[in-house]
Each structure stands twice: as C-alpha cells, then as structure tokens.
Amino acid sequence: MQLRKRSMIAVFVVLALSLMVCSSAFAADKVIKIGALFPLTGPAAVSGQNCVNAVLAAADVINKANPDIKAPLAAKEGLLDGYKIEIIKADHQGKPDVAKSEAERLYNQEKVFAVIGCYNSSATKPASAVAERAKKIFMCGCSSSAALTERDYKYFFRHAPTDAIESKEFVEYIEYLNKEKKAGIKTLGLIYENTEFGKHAAEEAHKAAKTVGLKVVADVPFNNGATNLNSEVQTLKAANPDAVFGAALGGDYSLWVRTMKQVNWLPKIALNYCTGYQNPAVQKELAGDGDYFMGGMGYSPALAKEFMPEAIKIEKKYYTPRSNQPFDSDSIQEGVMLFVLAQAIEKAGSLDTEKVAQILRTEEFTSVMSLSGKVKFEPGGQNVYALSVITKIKDQDYKTVFPLKYKKSEPVFPMTPWGKR
C-alpha cells in the first residue's frame, strides 16, 4: 500500500514537472524578438542609450496592461493571443561595418522579427541593406538622410523628416525673419560630420539655399568623434556667414559649440539638424553655452503638453525612470516605430513578415508620440506625416519659434555674444 502511494506521488510529480516544462516552452514560443541597434559606445552613446530606453518604454506599454494610457495596444497585455515583445540590444559603436555585422547577427543568430535603429544614418544604411536582402523588416526612427528612402526598398520604414524637409523649413524660416524682422541674413555657412547624415544634410542645405538666394560662403566637414574642431570653426569665423546650419551628433555638437566660444565668434543665427542639439543631456552639459542656438525638433515637453499628452504619461511611467530625463526628439521616434510595428502585427493577425510588411506599406497608424498624431509610409518607406518644428533653447528649455502655428517664443538674433552672457 505504501509502495503504491509512493508510486502515485512520483507519477504526479513527473506530470507536474512535465506541465511546467511544457508551459515554459509555450511561454518561450510566445515571444516576438525585436532588435534595437544603436550606438551604445562611442561619441553618440548617450543618444543611443536614450533611443534604446524609448524602445523599452514602448515595449512596456505593449506588454503590460496600461488602461491609464490612451494609446493603441496599451489597454491589454501583449499582441495577438498573448505574445510579448522581447528587445534584443546591439551596439554598432557608430561604425557602418559594425552596424552591418550586428544586423546580420540579429537577424540570423538572434532570429529577431525586425530591427529598430540605428540613430546614425551612416549605420542605418548598411544595416537596412542587410534587412532588405533578407526580406526582413527594418524600422527607422530618427536617421534623417534623404538617401535612405530614395532606394526603393520594400522592407524599410522611417518616421523622421528627412534633412531635405528640414533644410526647406530652415530657409523658409530665414525668409520669414528677413521679411518680418529685417534680419538681413544673406550668407550661409555649413558645418557637418563627414558621414552619410552630415554629407546629405549639406547637399540638401545647398539646394535649399539656392531656392531663396542664400549664398553659401563656407562648407566645412569634420570627422565625427573629433577631439579638436578649432581649424574648422576658424574657417567658419573667417567666412563670417550670417547663418550657420550644423549637423553634429552627440558629443560632436558639444565640441562645436564650445569651440565657437573659444574662438569668440557667433553667426546671427545657428540652426541644427536632428543632432546633439535635441538631447537634454547634451544641453545640460553645455549649460548656458547652449543658449540661443536653434534647431529642428519633433518633440519637447512644451509641445507634448499641448499636442501629445499621452506621450507624457508614457515618458513619466516608463522612460524617465530609465533615462532620468524627458524624451528627446530623436529617442521618442524610435519608440514610435515599435508602436507602429506592433499595430501592424496586430492588424495582420500574424507574424508572417510579408503580411506585416504589406500592412506597413498600405495602412495608416495612430501615434500618440508623434506631433502629427499619425503615421503612414509612402513607397520607399518615408512617413508622409513627418513633422518638425524649429525651436530655440534658453536655460535648457526648448521653445518653438516656427512654424507660426506652433510658435511660443521669439528668436534671439543676432545671438547674444559670448562676452555678454
């Protein structure tokens, strides 16, 4: 009798363990792996980590029940029939060759469903080429080189406005200042990192300047990750342009601003593409030296308060605890792309890449973290609702100055000289 009891107990234990193993295997099968490929080391590491944190914040909204957040997929847990998103981080170090090899590793070894990345356009270009060859989805938040959506790719999708869009907006703003404020801006200088992002920003700046009769008097590239920009800034100073357009990421932006102070020179206005200008951590480091510069942005706490209240909820609940700062215009767009991808998976009702990609190509998506409130991709993958505003910064606070619909402050021009700050 005792032996029989023991045998029955043993059977029950074996059954229980089997059920636990099966349950664990089932749970493991209900995971959607998404790669997050960003510069986690190198000159843009701070921005890269912020981008990862935004993707992780979006994953938390999707994976957990968040009835307090009025956004698609927030109210229930997971996707489809209980699938959870798992973020697989990868570091491309700001190097195109590393971006390519890490994309291959994510798709081939980690078996990710899609990759989100890469911040640097020079890294996004080869990484997304890997995806296209493999017919895998690549979601790009903030890389702005116009060339990325001129390749007729079928599996590449981008949220951000291109540097062509921003260049057009910059010269429209200069026209406005000349007409309404008698600014007298006639000449332009360009300083930019010698990468995919920087070179294309400069090309688009030349085109845009020509349309409004702005004369480009200085075209100054530099190597990203530089430790000294004295020669480049002296070249700008010698040309003495009325306005400067800058394309410098992360620490390169800080170095450029500080070098301008060292040589004691400023143009009348300085406008920046999607760069270190947008990063609150960079501005905190610069303190008052960053004041009165301007740049394109798709997000600021002030804009969010008026136009994106649900983004503030996501920021406070899941992003700021990780980054110890608000979203910035770059990082938030990477979070947007996970939300859009998740909506496409849900609409497709499937993890079939072709079905999901077709939804991405044809459907419109609600986006509570986009200034426009919606996302839709044209052939080639560019978001047709991509929107940027021009802000100025003072005391680490971004205020919109253009377009007039979003205007909250007047620009300061000419920029206050270094000796009078």
Map out the domains of the chain as residue ranges: 27-160+330-376, 164-273+275-302+389-420
Same fold yes or no, 27-160+330-376 and 164-273+275-302+389-420: yes
CA distances from 178 to 138, 205, 212, 242, 267 (A): 41, 18, 11, 12, 15
Between CA 349 and CA 78 the distance in angstroms is: 13
Between CA 93 and CA 237 the distance in angstroms is: 32
Q: What CATH number has the domain spanning 27-160+330-376?
A: 3.40.50.2300
Question: Which one, of 386, 396, 419, 382, lies nearest residue 278 by Cα?
Answer: 396
Retrieve residue 66's tokens. 């968040």
Between CA 105 and CA 103 the distance in angstroms is: 5
Task: For residue 224, give every residue at least 6 positions away whose Cβ sits within 8 Å of its Cβ, in sequence order, or none.
Answer: 43, 94, 193, 194, 195, 198, 248, 249, 252
Between CA 252 and CA 282 the distance in angstroms is: 10
Q: Is residue 300 within 8 Å of 391, Cβ to Cβ?
A: yes
CB-count burial class (<10 Å; 0-12, 13-18, 19+) for 316: exposed
Give this prediction's pTM.
0.85
Helix, strand, coil % in the chain, rounded to nearest 5: 50, 20, 35
Q: Is residue 247 within 8 Å of 222, Cβ to Cβ?
A: no
Q: How large is the C-alpha radius of gyration of the chain?
A: 24
Between CA 259 and CA 252 the distance in angstroms is: 10
Task: For residue 372, give every residue at least 6 positions away whose Cβ sits within 8 Å of its Cβ, in sequence order, or none.
Answer: 385, 386, 387
Task: Return the sign of the alpha-carbon dihedral for residues 269, 270, 272, 276.
Answer: negative
Between CA 353 and CA 42 the distance in angstroms is: 33
pLDDT number for residue 224: 87
Retrieve residue 4's tokens. 């029989």
Residues in the chain: 421
Local structure of 140: helix, strand or coil: strand
CA distances from 96 to 6, 128, 129, 143, 149 (A): 63, 11, 11, 13, 18
Question: H helices within 291-418, ranges in order?
Answer: 301-307, 309-314, 320-323, 331-348, 353-362
Local structure of 133: helix, strand or coil: helix
CB-count burial class (<10 Å; 0-12, 13-18, 19+) for 378: exposed
Peptide bond into 161 cis (omega under 30): no
Question: Which one, of 277, 293, 274, 295, lies nearest residue 285 by Cα?
Answer: 277
Q: Judge: domain 164-273+275-302+389-420, CATH 3.20.20.10.
A: no
Tens of pLDDT along the chain (421 residues) come to 444 444 444 444 434 444 443 434 334 579 999 999 999 999 889 999 999 999 999 999 999 999 999 999 999 999 998 999 999 999 999 999 999 999 999 999 999 999 999 999 999 999 999 999 999 999 999 999 999 999 999 999 999 999 999 999 999 999 999 999 999 999 999 999 999 899 999 999 999 999 999 999 999 999 988 999 999 999 999 999 999 999 998 889 999 999 999 999 999 999 999 778 988 888 999 999 999 999 999 998 889 999 999 999 999 999 999 999 999 999 999 999 999 999 999 999 999 999 999 999 999 999 999 999 999 999 999 999 999 999 999 999 999 999 998 999 998 889 999 999 9
DSSP β-bridge partners for residue 193: 222
